[in-house]
Structures are given as structure tokens and as C-alpha cells.
Structure 1
Amino acid sequence: MAKNIQSLERAAAMLRLLAGGERRLGLSDIAASLGLAKGTAHGILRTLQAEGFVEQEPASGRYQLGAELLRLGNSYLDVHELRSRALVWTDDLARSSGESVHLGVVHQQGVLIVHHVFRPDDSRQVLEVGAMQPLHSTALGKVLSAYDPVAHSEALEGERTALTPRTVTGAAEFEEILDLTRARGWAVDVEETWEGVAAVAAPIHDRRKMPVGAIAITGAVERICKDGEVRPELVAAVRECARSVSRDIGAGRF
């Protein structure tokens, strides 16, 4: 019978340790809890940190789980399954709102559109499935950046290009937008990506309360907004749609 690889067993034990309890632990605490020499524990932590599985707080020097684990966890939920679960709900949202609906996921430092329901008015439209949207300016990107640590890091570290005069490019301003997004549970894009176009988006969570995607209503500014603000009925509709898809993939009621 083949023997288990000891270094992998120790790394797995370290990740489990960081996943429970205080979640942020110092080197001495980790080594003592696992019965390892500090040098051995530090070597494993350094490797996990290099791979993005562990992060170290600069101020305290304590370790915590890294964002790469979230990316791996999210891949457990297949994108095609997410799309199939969202089909009915997004169709209903497009019908009730009278606007286009997009379903997006984080992919390669942007938002990948995995499902697009046309605006139900028989107008000429272009299918956007497979298109990439920026994280920093779109409603989908802001929602994903607010709730997904990987998207958040990529949005901050990447180039935030000014796509229109209204695009927010400063890091501090962008963080304020993400704070507001988390506080109210939805994000908006009013001519920040395309002039004349506005969108409102809400996050989809799985059974572990992890963000796995987002849904957005997109349309002309004059239809999405009223008196300079997004129409509240559209905000309510996209949030309820996102909640419905979340419940359908196993999330609790929220």
C-alpha cells in the first residue's frame, strides 16, 4: 500500500486549522497546535502563501486562509450548472423588467458573461454570451469585487481604465463603492462603462454563502434610471432574482 506524503498531510492539517477557531494564527500557535518545529511549519506556510492558499497580515504577522482557496471552492459549482439553475429566473426577470439580463462570473481578471436574456421587445440585439466585462466599472464587476476576495484583489491590482468620463479609477474611491455595495447588497453602473447605458446587479451565493456569480439588468439610462437614480423596482427585482437563484443552488433563505 502506498504511503501518504507527509508534507501534504501537514499542509492539509494547517489549512483545516486556519479554517476553524480564531482563523488568524501566529507561527508559534500553528506549530504548537500541529506538533511541528517552527522551521518546518514556516516552510509549509511559506509554500502555501506563495500559491495563494494562505495570506499573512503585514501588521501582526498572523496567518489566515488565502483567496485562492475561494477560487478553487467556487469551481466546485460548475458554471453550466449555475446557468441552468438561473434560466427560468433570468427569463422571468427580463420579462418583468422589460430589459436585458446578464449572468456573469469572475474569469481572468474580468467578468465573463455566461448567460444573456434579450430585452423582450423584438429589437435588434447582439448576443453577449462569452463577452468579457471589466470588474471596476460594471455593475456585475462591482458586485463580484465586493463579495469575492479574488475579484477584489484583481480589480485593485489591475488597470482601472477610464472608459467614460464617469468611470471611477481611484483605489480609495473604488473601495468606497465596494463598501456601499456590501452595505446595500447591490451595485449600479450609470454610464461608467458605456455612455447611455446603465445597469444594476446583485450577487448569487451558494450553500456556503460564497459568491459564485451575479445577475444584472442592463438598458438605456432613461429606462433604468429616474431622476438620476436607479428605479427602486428594478433594484428589488434583480435582488429577488439573485436570491431565488441562490436558494436554487442550496443557499439558505436570506
Structure 2
Amino acid sequence: MKSLTSALAIYGAFSTTRQPLGITDICERTGLAKSQVSKVLATFREQGFLEQDPVTRKYRVGPMSFLVGVAYAHTHVLTRQALPIMRELVDRCGHSAVLSVREGDTVFHLLAVEGPFFVDSRWRVGMSVPFHATAAGKILTAFDAPEVLDRLIAAHGLPQITPKTITDPAGLADHLAEVRAAGAAVTAGESAPGLVAIAVPVFGEHEHIRAALSFIMPLQGYEPDAAEAHVADLQAAARSLSFRLGAETYPFGTA
């Protein structure tokens, strides 16, 4: 079982980067010995889960990983229930919509529907995003148990990504309390310059947080006065999705 855990740690190193990784890179990320890493990588390569560049000798995600990822997205209950709601939302409002979840400590985009106001920045499906500097990450953290924030800060800190990133633990805790009270989070340039995101919570059974539903839009042309209307549109869609997922109430916006 220990060897399987080590193999999964090696494979998991590829989930948070879009760059090829060498054996030394993976050893640094996992703390495992080079000989062990080399053997595991060879097995994943032989099975098609990883590919190796013949020139650089570095590894990247392979076709079997892609197929497994597609199967995950297509069979996930959230994607099945959310897709028609998100399509209607984008058709009506025009902005790209993203559904994000957290698995362990990782916040990532599970589903996206592009709108005509296309923004090609940090919102693609499968992208992991910082919990403290994105609207989706803030929603997923604000509506989880209070100790989750302490654990995330202890494990990952609050790195400054842009000059607007909140890096003070007390300041972030106060900010997340405001997010929880409002049922919405708005970020402008906190994780990527020139990008605005507005997110609201999606609940499931027993009103447990299941996902964050967001609009992604360019900062240029964004009107802060329109944020309230965007939040209302998102909350209406999130309410419909929450009821589909088993929630009995949705405490924000109007029915």
C-alpha cells in the first residue's frame, strides 16, 4: 500500500502544473528517491498515462490520463446537472460561466461554458486556482467548516500573486465572513491582472457546499455598479442547481 501511495504522489505531481517535469523536479515535489521515481514514471509511461519527450527526457500527461479525465467530467453528477443551467445562463447574460469544486486542498474548474465575451486567462477546465485569491476559492472556503481555512493557510500559506492579493490571515478571515454573509465573492486582479470573477455558492443535501458558480470577465469594460445584477443572475442559476442536487433551501437572492 505504501508503494501505491508513493506512485500516486508521483502521478499527482502532474495535476498542478502545465509544464513537463523531469525526475529531479518530481523528487523535489514528492521527497521520494530518484530510483523509485524513475521506476514509477516508466510504468506510467508504458501504460499510456504519461509521455516522455525523447529530447528533454521530461514527462507530461499522456492520452490515458486525458481519457480518464474526460470520463470523470462526463460522469460527475455536478456536470450533468449544471450544464443545461449554465448554457441558459451564458445565453442570457453573455459572460463565460465556470463551475469550480475543491478536492482536498485543490480548487479546480470542473466545467465551463464560453460566452461571447471570451477571456483566455486562468479559467480553463482542469485548471487549479488559489483558494485565497479567486472568487471560486473564496466561496468554497467561506462556506466550509471554519477549521478548513486554518488548515489551508497552515499547509499553503497566503502567497502574494498580484499586488491585490490578500496575504494577511486575519484580513482574509474577515473578508470570508463578508463573503459568507453576502453569498457572493468578487475578485478583480487578485490572481491574474485584468481579470474579474464573480462567484456564488452551490449547495447540495443538508445545504452543504458543493461548488462555486462564477462569471469570468475582462477587467477592461467591467462596471462595478453591475456586480449586483451579475450576482442576482448567478444566484438564480445556483438556486436551480442546488435544488437539483438535493438542497431544500437557497438562502440568497430571490426565487
TM-score relative to the length of structure 1: 0.63
How far apart are residue 104 of structure 1 and its match?
A: 0.6
Counterpart for residue 223 of structure 2 = 225
The reply to whether residue 216 of structure 1 matches residue 214 of structure 2 is yes
**Structure 1 residue corresponding to 2:88, chosen from 85, 89, 92:** 92
Change (3 A) 1:206 1:120: same
* Whole-angstrom distance in 2 between the partners of 1:143 and 1:124: 21
* Whole-angstrom distance in 1 between the partners of 2:185 and 2:75: 22
Counterpart for residue 247 of structure 1 = 243
Give the 5 Å matches for 1:120-131.
120-121=116-117, 125=120, 128-131=124-127
Question: Could you tell which deviates more after superposition, 185-194 or 93-102?
Answer: 93-102
**Structure 1 residue corresponding to 2:195, chosen from 194, 197, 208:** 197
Counterpart for residue 175 of structure 1 = 173
Amino acid at match of 2:194: G
**Structure 2 residue corresponding to 1:163, chosen from 132, 140, 161:** 161
Question: Could you tell which deviates more after superposition, 86-95 or 146-155?
Answer: 146-155
How far apart are residue 190 of structure 1 and its match?
A: 1.0
3-state DSSP class of the match of 1:163? coil
Amino acid at match of 2:149: H
How far apart are residue 94 of structure 1 and its match?
A: 1.6
How far apart are residue 129 of structure 1 and its match?
A: 1.0
- The share of aligned pairs that are identical, in percent, is 28
How far apart are residue 108 of structure 1 and its match?
A: 3.9
**Structure 2 residue corresponding to 1:132, chosen from 128, 131, 146:** 128
* Whole-angstrom distance in 1 between the partners of 2:120 and 2:174: 34
* Whole-angstrom distance in 2 between the partners of 1:154 and 1:97: 37
* Whole-angstrom distance in 1 between the partners of 2:227 and 2:201: 18
**Structure 1 residue corresponding to 2:105, chosen from 104, 109, 112:** 109
Give the 5 Å matches for 1:4-15.
none
Question: Could you tell which deviates more after superposition, 162-171 or 145-154?
Answer: 145-154
Name which one, 1 or 2, has greater alpha-carbon Rg: 1
* Whole-angstrom distance in 1 between the partners of 2:151 and 2:109: 17
TM-score relative to the length of structure 2: 0.63
The alignment covers a number of residue pairs equal to: 174
**Uncovered stretches (5+) of structure 1, i.e. residues with no partner:** 1-77
How far apart are residue 249 of structure 1 and its match?
A: 1.0
Amino acid at match of 1:156: I
The reply to whether residue 152 of structure 1 matches residue 149 of structure 2 is yes
In the TM superposition, what whole-angstrom CA distance separates every residue of 1:137-160 from its partner, at most 9, and x where no partner exists? 100000010011275344332221
Aligned-residue Cα RMSD (Å) equals 2.2
In the TM superposition, what whole-angstrom CA distance separates every residue of 1:32-89 from its partner, at most 9, and x where no partner exists? xxxxxxxxxxxxxxxxxxxxxxxxxxxxxxxxxxxxxxxxxxxxxx971011100011
**Uncovered stretches (5+) of structure 2, i.e. residues with no partner:** 1-73, 251-255
Amino acid at match of 2:144: D
Does the aligned pair in 2 maintain the 1:109–1:151 contact within 8 Å?
no
3-state DSSP class of the match of 2:152? helix
Change (3 A) 1:97 1:130: same
Change (3 A) 1:224 1:80: farther
* Whole-angstrom distance in 2 between the partners of 1:194 and 1:125: 11
